[in-house]
A and B are shown apart, each in its own frame.
Chain A
């Protein structure tokens, strides 16, 4: 193993990890406010990516990308309104199963429209891959990493600095008290779905020029994003991205040393091990063991 290999593992790991982290943020934002694990997270992000691909055929890229993000956010909000909100009096279990229904419906709808072929978007900035001490990183990968950082910064600022962001957090901390001060808890839940869709959608779009997208990619995205979210304790935005990068590095190392056949297997095994041995992830949160 050369230092070049190690550098390549790091570059690939950080790039892919950013994607997982951003999807994970989607899980975290929704889970914090509503308690729901949204199985459709990856598929909703893909809606954004496919929208951007379609829009880029008729609009300039700088317009197609933001519109794609808007589509992802809007779809996610719509999912809340149509599938989650009507089930608010049911157990959480029922709401979670409903997101599974959404995941299937979204995926098959995409398949009906786009077929199962691969789609790609042109890179945001043209140019050859950058060589770093023998390892390479695509320019688009820098976009992916940078956008993930921007998402973390923006969301953190939103939750910590703005009135609306505090109101959303307040619903997570104490929904009853949030109602008492006049915060519309349902509206905030819808907003959290929108934000999750936007965050996950942004990175799903940004990674489309890097590797192709297919309609079947949503489930994999969801699973990997969930690993990141678990590592972030399903609560911390920054730690979720760290968790995503950890997964990305493990996968990249597995690919180089054991072959790509085992990449996904490594991630899934990590998820299973985490759930069994360390459900609180990288955090010190207490995951209650008794109800």
Chain B
């Protein structure tokens, strides 16, 4: 808690004191500019840092805000707050219309689309006679709220810093909220985030809309402090500068834009004072731009996570907050094995997963062909087969990452054949991945919290205001995550950074993350791969316990010892088709299975052939 209180107190102190200390109007102007730049960049951080995309229309959104406020107050006589909100709505709508289709695409289409959008807005403003063309128009009243007017420059400093503080609060709250965690997970790995119920395109669009709203609000503030608007400050160059501010500060932390905006202010000031003496009066703008461009490249090459990221790493190096390897707790008390399921369950057991005629073709290649499969409560079904047999494809089909060409998949009787991954997750199916995917920068507990996504409802905006309902849900999700961690014996690692864990712990953590969504079916993609003997034994014990609790487990695994020891039934695939289904003992002795694994036996004499003792 101390960690949270200190920065908040510091911010309040700065906002309270800054206007008292800074009394000359020049510096006050600088602070206002700094605040507006930081707010714009903060919006961008929501997009780049949380959703992994970048926009070059941030100045364009500021233009919408600025002109919206100007038109609203001057032309329509609306109060400033109403104008500001209306402008932000317009920005949000435009972004929604553009973001929905483009954010589905991979690559850098968004960057180009926003670049075009920014230019279009700029040209429209420049060409519009109604808005005064390139010279703009003035007469904008100062911002006022509840009869309070922000007229003199000192009150404007208060206003801008206060809005910035609200923005910062928003970004910080969002970062540790349900949707914020989902976005951060999305940024690292879309497939994994979707597997926990996150609708990627929608989440990204939300982040984009928010970033535009931040931009628009900053623009409104600009209009009310300058009391005059013209198109010049809203060109693409300013969008790029805002990106630079975000990158310099670091796009992964809401504090980054503050550092970045301060740096940009410093560059501007230095440029204005130094460049004229070196390159002449005319080169000020160009010199400043050059510095900005060069700085952008240097920061990317030397410290890609920005100043705040670099500070974070230094702090981690010199001031490790937690012991690097927390002490293992006393061996956990043996779990009560109350309902150890009998290997061959009674027929009354519920069917959790039912698959029929499942087929997936890639071009002419049939990766999975006509597979039937049934998975019950409290059962472990092993799926084995030589390399290329289609095991991973099968898991991807079941979890909605791939759509089947033919066949049907039912979870608890519900048809999910064509459902995308995030919907399948909501229906009680969880999965792990061959190589564990950790979300960089998240603690173990946060990682598992991502797994509770489907259990929550709080959206981004609601999460910002800590109402009792919001807090209650967050507490419930936390409790669920802690339960899942404890269940898997990882409770003592909750505060560790997830990607610093050993492979063995990461593999268990993936299972905990899956369990946090309270699934009825858990698909495990090679949970033992890369584990040492002791870790494998722990994994085996954990899976056995999960079965005991009634979860239906589908286990794809190459470690035959583990498979044979653990599973109730084995489903053998070869060339995507079912080769054999049986108990471990039956399958292991089956000549067809041995052939599939060890090769074709077409020798007439058995010299050099492998004999199998039954």
A–B interface present (Cβ within 8 A): yes
Residues of chain A having any CB pair with chain B under 8 Å: 35, 37, 39, 82-83, 86-87, 90-94, 96-98, 100-109, 111-112, 115, 219, 223, 226, 230, 261-262, 264-265, 268-269, 271-272, 275-277, 279, 287-291
Interface residues on B, range: 35 or more
A289 to B390, CA, bound (A): 24
A291 to chain B, nearest CB (A): 4
* A288 & B300 in contact (Cβ 8 Å cutoff): no
* B293 & A87 in contact (Cβ 8 Å cutoff): no
* B107 & A37 in contact (Cβ 8 Å cutoff): yes
* B296 & A289 in contact (Cβ 8 Å cutoff): no
Listed residue (A86, A90, A98) with the most chain B CB atoms within 10 angstroms of its CB: A98
* A288 & B111 in contact (Cβ 8 Å cutoff): no
- 1/0 per residue, CB under 8 A from A, across B359-378: the answer is 00000000000000000000
A39 to B243, CA, bound (A): 14
* B102 & A276 in contact (Cβ 8 Å cutoff): yes
Among the stretches B65-73, B120-128, B346-354, B455-463, the one at the interface with A is: B120-128
* A90 & B290 in contact (Cβ 8 Å cutoff): no
B573, CB-defined interface residue at 8 Å: no
* B111 & A101 in contact (Cβ 8 Å cutoff): no
* A277 & B101 in contact (Cβ 8 Å cutoff): yes
* B112 & A226 in contact (Cβ 8 Å cutoff): yes
Listed residue (A104, A111, A264) with the most chain B CB atoms within 10 angstroms of its CB: A104
A105 to B296, CA, bound (A): 9
**Chain B residues near A290 (CB-CB < 8 A):** 104
Which single member of B123, B297, B301 contacts A268 (CB below 8 Å)?
A: B123
B188 to chain A, nearest CB (A): 10
* B124 & A112 in contact (Cβ 8 Å cutoff): no
A226 to B109, CA, bound (A): 11
Knowing A104-B290, A108-B293, A276-B102, the reply to whether A94 touches B283 (Cβ < 8 A) is: no
Knowing A93-B54, A265-B123, the reply to whether A83 touches B301 (Cβ < 8 A) is: yes
* A272 & B289 in contact (Cβ 8 Å cutoff): no
B82 to chain A, nearest CB (A): 29
* B293 & A103 in contact (Cβ 8 Å cutoff): yes
**Chain A residues near B52 (CB-CB < 8 A):** 91, 93
A113 to B340, CA, bound (A): 80
B304, CB-defined interface residue at 8 Å: yes
Show 19 residue pairs from A and B whose CB-CB distance is below 8 angstroms, ordered by the A residue.
Answer: A37-B111, A90-B300, A94-B304, A97-B54, A97-B300, A98-B301, A101-B244, A101-B296, A104-B240, A105-B294, A108-B286, A112-B283, A219-B236, A223-B116, A262-B127, A265-B120, A275-B116, A287-B105, A290-B104
B4, CB-defined interface residue at 8 Å: no
* A272 & B293 in contact (Cβ 8 Å cutoff): no
Which single member of A97, A111, A277 contacts B296 (CB below 8 Å)?
A: A97
A35 to B107, CA, bound (A): 8
* B296 & A108 in contact (Cβ 8 Å cutoff): no
Residue of A nearest to B102 (CB): A275
**Chain B residues near A112 (CB-CB < 8 A):** 279, 283, 286-287, 290
- 1/0 per residue, CB under 8 A from A, across B282-315: the answer is 1101111110111111001100100000000000
Knowing A90-B300, A101-B293, A108-B286, the reply to whether A291 touches B102 (Cβ < 8 A) is: no
* A97 & B286 in contact (Cβ 8 Å cutoff): no
Residue of A nearest to B56 (CB): A100
Which single member of A39, A115, A288 contacts B106 (CB below 8 Å)?
A: A288
B400 to chain A, nearest CB (A): 11
**Chain B residues near A105 (CB-CB < 8 A):** 289-290, 293-294, 297
Residue of A nearest to B123 (CB): A265
Which single member of B106, B127, B300 contacts A94 (CB below 8 Å)?
A: B300
**Chain B residues near A265 (CB-CB < 8 A):** 120, 123-124, 127
A156 to B502, CA, bound (A): 50
**Chain B residues near A86 (CB-CB < 8 A):** 301
A93 to B116, CA, bound (A): 18
**Chain A residues near B297 (CB-CB < 8 A):** 82-83, 98, 101-102, 105
A149 to chain B, nearest CB (A): 27
**Chain B residues near A91 (CB-CB < 8 A):** 52
* B54 & A104 in contact (Cβ 8 Å cutoff): no
Which single member of B104, B190, B300 contacts A101 (CB below 8 Å)?
A: B300
**Chain A residues near B247 (CB-CB < 8 A):** 97
* B296 & A98 in contact (Cβ 8 Å cutoff): yes
B191, CB-defined interface residue at 8 Å: yes
* A275 & B243 in contact (Cβ 8 Å cutoff): no
A97 to B283, CA, bound (A): 25
B437 to chain A, nearest CB (A): 13
Knowing A83-B301, A105-B293, A272-B113, the reply to whether A261 touches B127 (Cβ < 8 A) is: yes
**Chain A residues near B200 (CB-CB < 8 A):** 291
**Chain A residues near B124 (CB-CB < 8 A):** 265
B115, CB-defined interface residue at 8 Å: yes
* A275 & B300 in contact (Cβ 8 Å cutoff): no
* A87 & B290 in contact (Cβ 8 Å cutoff): no
A112 to B289, CA, bound (A): 10
Residue of B nearest to A91 (CB): B52
Listed residue (A83, A90, A97, A291) with the most chain B CB atoms within 10 angstroms of its CB: A97
* A272 & B116 in contact (Cβ 8 Å cutoff): yes
A262 to chain B, nearest CB (A): 8
Knowing A101-B297, A291-B200, the reply to whether A269 touches B120 (Cβ < 8 A) is: yes
Which single member of B117, B295, B300 contacts A272 (CB below 8 Å)?
A: B117
Residue of B nearest to A115 (CB): B282
**Chain B residues near A96 (CB-CB < 8 A):** 54, 108, 111
The 8 lowest CB-CB distance pairs between A and B, nearest first, are A104-B293, A105-B293, A101-B296, A108-B289, A111-B286, A108-B290, A101-B297, A108-B286
* B289 & A223 in contact (Cβ 8 Å cutoff): no
Which single member of A93, A107, A223, A261 contacts B115 (CB below 8 Å)?
A: A223
A265 to chain B, nearest CB (A): 5
B423 to chain A, nearest CB (A): 14
